[in-house]
């Protein structure tokens, strides 16, 4: 076991927390420990719980970065090209809906591990976890239902994107035909018609991006709040099961 793996192993043996480390390489290193080390039941429980908790934290970090990237403007080789701007927004939004929808999947896996339900990962779907008797007794099914409803819209977008290659961008004003007298407007602005249309499209696209990022911020705050409520429910159960394995 390398020094890095020993450090991760030590961190994973601490109590369950939401924000511990934020490094992508943490996850595969910990899974290697689970797979190749003959760990005790207590250590295995700690590691698996920590892995899904850390994965959830990384997803929220990625969502934050995607929102920041979407708000930026990019140019190709120093030239302003509108197709680049639009594709930049489209690209980031596609990543956003994939990550956003993944939160529900990871939350279900985390719930399965912390409550020690013993359900195989491939069977950890919403119905299987939310209908589990222990999950319902603890009232966690209500939180899972809220999370499922929040991700419902993006779930459709994710399926369309992955299985049919269909883009599911929200309606954008910059994509609509500009019904203005471009010719007269160009004369008033002392620009060519192409320059005038390009400037209008740039203005509308900037408005679209602001609105889209605001929507992302709202969605992320709502789903983070639900995730925190879930962790508040899971933490006492983690301590309880951890103590059981310790004895």
Percent of the chain with pLDDT over 90: 23
**pLDDT value for 132:** 96
Instruction: Find which of 44-53, 79-88, 123-132 is predicted with most confidence, using mean pLDDT.
Output: 123-132
Percent of the chain that is helix, strand, coil (3-state, to 5)? 75, 0, 25
Chain mean pLDDT for the chain: 75
Listed in sequence order, the DSSP H helices in 72-122 are: 82-114
Residue 10: is its pLDDT beyond 50? no
Q: Which two tokens stand for residue 194?
A: 């192409």
Q: What ranges do the domains of the chain cover?
A: 63-246
CA atoms of 18 and 145, how far apart (whole Å)? 21
Instruction: Find which of 1-10, 37-46, 99-108, 156-165 is predicted with most confidence, using mean pLDDT.
Output: 99-108
**pLDDT value for 200:** 66
Q: Which two tokens stand for residue 240?
A: 């309880």
Question: Which of 17-21, 104-108, 129-133, 226-230 is the least confident region?
Answer: 17-21
Question: Which of 2-16, 180-194, 215-229 is the least confident region?
Answer: 2-16
CA atoms of 135 and 125, how far apart (whole Å)? 13
Average pLDDT over every residue of 226-241: 89
Question: Which pTM was predicted?
Answer: 0.74
What is the CA angle 60-143-245, rounded to 5?
85
Residue 53: is its pLDDT beyond 90? no
Q: Is the dihedral of CA 166, 172, 176, 182 positive or negative?
A: negative
Per-residue pLDDT of 87-146, as tens digits, reads: 788 888 888 888 998 999 999 999 999 999 999 989 999 999 999 999 999 999 999 999
Please indicate whether residue 56 or residue 246 has the higher confidence score (pLDDT). 56
């Amino acid at each position: 076991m390398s020094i890095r793996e020993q450090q991760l192993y030590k961190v994973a043996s601490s109590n369950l927390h939401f924000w511990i480390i934020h490094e992508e390489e943490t996850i595969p290193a910990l899974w290697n420990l689970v797979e190749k080390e003959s760990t005790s039941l207590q250590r295995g429980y700690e590691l698996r719980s920590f892995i899904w908790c850390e994965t959830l934290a990384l997803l929220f970090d990625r969502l934050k970065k995607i929102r920041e990237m979407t708000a930026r403007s990019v140019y190709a080789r120093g030239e302003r090209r509108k197709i680049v701007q639009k594709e930049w927004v489209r690209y980031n939004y596609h990543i956003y809906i994939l990550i956003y929808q993944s939160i529900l999947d990871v939350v279900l896996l985390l719930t399965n591990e912390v409550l020690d339900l013993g359900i195989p990962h491939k069977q950890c779907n919403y119905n299987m976890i939310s209908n589990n008797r222990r999950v319902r007794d603890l009232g966690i099914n209500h939180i899972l239902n809220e999370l499922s409803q929040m991700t419902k819209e993006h779930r459709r977008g994710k399926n369309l994107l992955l299985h049919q290659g269909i883009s599911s961008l929200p309606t954008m004003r910059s994509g609509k035909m500009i019904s203005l007298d471009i010719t007269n407007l160009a004369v008033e602005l002392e620009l060519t018609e192409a320059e005038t249309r390009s400037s209008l499209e740039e203005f509308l696209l900037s408005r679209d991006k602001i609105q889209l990022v605001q929507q992302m911020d709202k969605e992320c705050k709502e789903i983070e709040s639900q995730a925190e409520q879930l962790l508040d429910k899971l933490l006492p159960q983690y301590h309880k099961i951890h103590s059981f394995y310790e004895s």
